[in-house]
Structure 1
């Protein structure tokens, strides 16, 4: 049997980095919740970084009159708001070991990549809201924990897509 045909162009998921974007998204009610995760969504793109505001002339530096020796190499423009931007919040109080936090973040990114084509564009934040029971998952990066997180995130994004 031949492998399933995948679309030639996979939707691109950008990474959110601005604190203001996280605050804006987390200020909204969650779009979908599960036992351990919550997903928040806001339409639109990320706010411009300080460098982008300076580059576009929206903000001035105190040294604006000084001559610059070299021009910046990165002349990128703010990204199109039609993309999906993902941020993840995995606090230490819910996942004490860095191995566990890294595993959960990888699972969040992978789930978003799988569902990005069906989700509306905008800013998305997935937040770990409760710890996984250490008695049930004694290893920090066990296959059982990976499977549990993947299953829960699949259900979470499926519900978020419908709402």
Structure 2
């Protein structure tokens, strides 16, 4: 599994389809052919044909850096479990709502990690049961 690193990679995936949603997360996906063709001397957006994954955890929804990093670690950990089931495409897991700070007081509490992990497992299970025809734009 390769990780998305550049802004154009993230933009290309976010322009694709949303495969699954939960209360706090959304999983976006785009086929690797969605990348623009190479121009003089430029590398393609997705140079290898494999599963690509990126994590977006905006400051808007997770104010503390330690919380953002914890959520990203959970995203990459859970996605590694589902890598064999994911289609060969580029995927982005996006945090789309914040976790209640009254309920999760500590930025890296075990309760927060468990809640994030449970929701991510649900997200990937939903995404892996979606037929591949949903990846086409149209």
Please state which band the TM-score falls in when normalised by the shorter chain: 0.7 to 0.9
Structure 2, unmatched stretches of 5+, are 131-138
Report how far residue 130 of structure 1 moved: 0.1
Distance 1:109 1:46 in 2: 23
Q: For the residues of structure 1 that align with 2:129 and 2:4, how far apart are their CA atoms?
A: 23
The list of structure 1 runs, each at least 4 consecutive aligned residues, that deviate by more than 6 angstroms after superposition, is none
- Alignment equivalent of 2:83, drawn from 116, 123, 127: 116
Indicate the SS of the match to 1:30: strand
Q: 1:79 aligns with which of 43, 47, 57?
A: 47
Residue 92 of structure 1 deviates from its aligned partner by 0.2
Quote the Cα distance in structure 1 between the aligned partners of 2:115 and 2:80: 18
Q: Which has the larger radius of gyration?
A: 1
| Aligned pairs (5 A) from 1:144-155 | 144-155=111-122
Does 2:20 align with 1:32?
yes
Matched, 1:17 2:5: yes
Partner of 2:68: 101
In the other structure, the counterpart of 1:59 is 40
- Contact 2:12/2:35 (8 A) holds in 1: no
- Equivalent pair of 1:45/1:85 in contact (CA under 8 Å): no
Q: Aligned with 1:95: secondary structure?
A: coil
Cα RMSD after superposing both structures: 2.0
Instruction: Identify unmatched segments of 5+ residues in structure 1.
Output: 1-12, 61-77
TM-score by length of 1: 0.72
Which secondary structure does the structure 2 equivalent of 1:94 belong to? coil
Name the count of aligned residue pairs. 126
When the two structures are superposed, what TM-score results if normalisation uses the length of structure 2?
0.84
Alpha-carbon deviation of 1:79?
3.5
